[in-house]
């Protein structure tokens, strides 16, 4: 029985809930595998008309789990490639899920968590949530999530937030297109229910065909070559001297060596 996810289905809507609130729903290799398998499984279930990705606790997803980061700090380049490849496969499973997907964002979203939101077709956020692509602060880059995040927020906004690692609020996430709706906490369930009802009321075959149309017409294909480039990108920088220094300084709660005096 999974401890990382709670999965329930009602009236054609499957809800996949991240349930590690004690670590702000940060993911590790086990969570990544469970998420990938959950989305691959629901893709085969014709009774499910749409999927909601939700979370418990104060944060939607804080990115990588600290214990996982500690293990990654000692990975070889080959191990980093394999590790990043699993994250890429999970994001692709969400993105290519034939049913429409909705990110139900009840709290903060950091680093890799941004990939989860961006890989979904739609996102509804509470007005108190904050967002951050924090990778460059750790000497890393948001490589594996980049195909999805750039599509969601647009290239111009990505230039700013990839490079500065600034934290921004839900209103800004809405302005740049990362999320579609921003609501008060007590209105989140109702707004997501409105969207799921609209999706369930539509023709299932037409909705699936329309999702494929959108990906074929409006977006460059996320193919093996693109995924391989992003996997290599994160593996290379994790193994670099600044990548190692950034992660170690974060784990050790000290300032990285590149900060100017």
**161 Rama sector, left if φ>0, alpha if ψ -120 to 50, beta otherwise:** alpha
User: Chain-wide mean pLDDT for the chain?
Assistant: 92
Q: Which three-class secondary structure state does DSSP give residue 125?
A: strand
The answer, yes or no, to whether residue 219 has pLDDT greater than 70, is: no
Q: Where are the alpha helices (DSSP H) in the chain?
A: 29-42, 66-72, 77-95, 112-119, 146-153, 155-164, 170-175, 188-201, 204-218, 224-238, 241-251
DSSP state of 232: H
* pLDDT tens, residue by residue, 155-165: 999 999 999 99
Quote the CA–CA distance of 159 and 157 in Å, as a whole number.
Answer: 5
Q: Are 140 and 234 in contact (CB under 8 A)?
A: yes
Question: What's the per-residue H, E or C state across 109-122?
Answer: EECHHHHHHHHCCE
Q: Are 68 and 29 in contact (CB under 8 A)?
A: yes
* pLDDT tens, residue by residue, 23-77: 999 999 999 999 999 999 999 999 999 999 999 999 999 998 888 888 877 888 8
Residues 225-232: what's their mean pLDDT? 86
The answer, yes or no, to whether residue 2 has pLDDT greater than 60, is: no
* pLDDT tens, residue by residue, 128-181: 999 999 999 999 999 999 999 999 999 999 999 999 999 999 999 999 999 999
Least confident stretch, 54-63, 93-102, 235-244: 235-244
What's the pTM? 0.89
């Amino acid at each position: 029985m999974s401890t990382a996810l709670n999965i329930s289905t009602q009236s054609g809507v499957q809800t996949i809930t991240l349930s590690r609130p004690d670590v702000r729903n940060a993911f590790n290799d086990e969570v990544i595998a469970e998420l990938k398998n959950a989305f691959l499984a629901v893709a085969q279930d014709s009774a499910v008309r749409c999927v909601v990705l939700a979370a418990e606790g104060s944060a939607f997803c804080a990115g990588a789990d600290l214990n996982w980061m500690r293990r990654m700090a000692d990975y070889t380049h080959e191990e980093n490639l394999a590790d990043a490849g699993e994250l890429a496969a999970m994001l692709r499973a969400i993105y290519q899920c034939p049913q429409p997907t909705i990110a139900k964002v009840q709290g903060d979203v950091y680093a890799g968590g941004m990939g989860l939101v961006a890989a979904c077709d739609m996102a509804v956020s509470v007005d108190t949530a904050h967002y951050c692509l924090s990778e460059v602060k750790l000497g890393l880059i948001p490589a594996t999530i980049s195909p999805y995040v750039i599509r969601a927020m647009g290239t111009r906004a990505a230039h700013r937030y990839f490079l500065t690692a600034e934290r921004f609020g839900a209103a800004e996430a809405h302005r740049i297109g990362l999320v579609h709706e921003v609501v008060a906490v007590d209105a989140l369930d109702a707004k997501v229910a409105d969207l799921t009802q609209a999706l369930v009321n539509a023709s299932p075959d037409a909705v699936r065909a329309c999702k494929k149309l959108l990906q074929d017409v409006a977006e460059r294909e996320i193919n093996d070559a693109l995924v391989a480039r992003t996997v290599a990108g994160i593996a290379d920088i994790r193994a670099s001297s600044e990548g190692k220094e950034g992660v170690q300084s974060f784990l050790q709660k000290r300032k990285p060596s590149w900060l100017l005096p």
